[in-house]
Homo-oligomer: A and B are copies of this chain.
Amino acid sequence: MVSPVNSSGSTKERILGAAEVLFAQRGFDGASLRQLTAAAGVNLAAVNYHFGSKDKLVEEVFRRRLDALNASRLSALAKVAGHPDTTLEAVLAAYIRPALDLSHDGNGSLFMRVLARAFAEHDDTLRQFLSANYGHVMRQFTAEFARLLPQLSKQELYWRIDLVTGALTHAMSGFGMIQRKSDVSEHAHREQTAQHLIRFAVAGLSHP
């Protein structure tokens, strides 16, 4: 009934890995600590010993991926933001490409599904955690969008960013709908996907 034992890495890492998979598959409530620890090949009590509680484990699952993702996004943004000849494409690439790279290695793609769940669940605790720890990233991108799209009112801009965010979250979590053909390399497919998302976002943000 439950996935096989994972026997590589430390206990904490095995729990985090199994949690990412099961949270993506069954949700935060739906995945029990017993399923989770069985999949990770560790004792049930290990979660509370190493993380304190299930809620703290959820936070750690987010922290591990989001720290890397947002650092990568901000680093990419810093290279293009503020320059007089920066394009909308370049800023969107700084936002989208790190997420696609995350999908590439390990179970990172499952994490985007976990993230989509967090969006759908209007759980206040989780939203506050995300907003407090990673809100500044979206704020920096929003500021750059505002600079590149001066003709839009604040309200207009927020509307469009919200819609673009929804589209990207949906697309990256619902993965698998657009299958990679066998005659296309993974790298080429990722490049194709990035182009799709970026062009769509440019059109959605900058239409008259």
Does A207 lie at the interface of the complex (its beta carbon under 8 Å from any beta carbon of B)? yes
CB A25 to nearest CB in B, in angstroms, measures 7
Contact of A167 among B29, B113, B170 (CB under 8 A): B170
Map CB proximity to B onto A169-191 as digits: 1 under 8 Å, 0 otherwise: 11101100110000000000000
- The interface residues of chain B lying within 8 Å CB-to-CB of A24 are 122
Tell me, rounded to whole Å, the shortest Cβ–Cβ distance linking A206 to chain B: 8
Interface on chain A toward B: helix, strand, loop, or mixed SS? Answer: helix
A63 at the interface (CB under 8 A from B): no
Each complex incorporates copies of this chain amounting to 2
Q: Which one of B116, B177, B199 lies within 8 Å of A207 (CB-CB)?
A: B199
Q: Name the residue of chain B whose CB is nearest to the CB of A163.
A: B167
A132 to chain B, nearest CB (A): 18
Q: Which residue of B lies closest to A164 (CB)?
A: B167
**Known pairs A120-B120, A158-B178, A203-B204 / 17 extra A-B pairs, C-beta < 8 Å:** A27-B27, A27-B29, A29-B29, A29-B30, A119-B170, A120-B173, A158-B177, A162-B174, A163-B167, A163-B200, A166-B167, A166-B170, A170-B170, A200-B204, A200-B207, A203-B203, A207-B207
What are 28 A-B interface contacts by the 8 Å CB criterion? Answer: A27-B27, A27-B29, A27-B121, A29-B29, A29-B30, A116-B120, A119-B120, A120-B120, A159-B196, A162-B171, A162-B174, A162-B178, A163-B167, A163-B170, A164-B167, A166-B166, A166-B167, A166-B168, A166-B170, A166-B171, A167-B167, A167-B170, A170-B170, A200-B204, A200-B207, A203-B203, A203-B204, A203-B207
Ranked nearest first, the 9 interchain pairs of A and B with the lowest CB-CB distance are: A166-B170, A120-B120, A203-B207, A167-B167, A163-B167, A29-B29, A166-B167, A203-B203, A117-B120
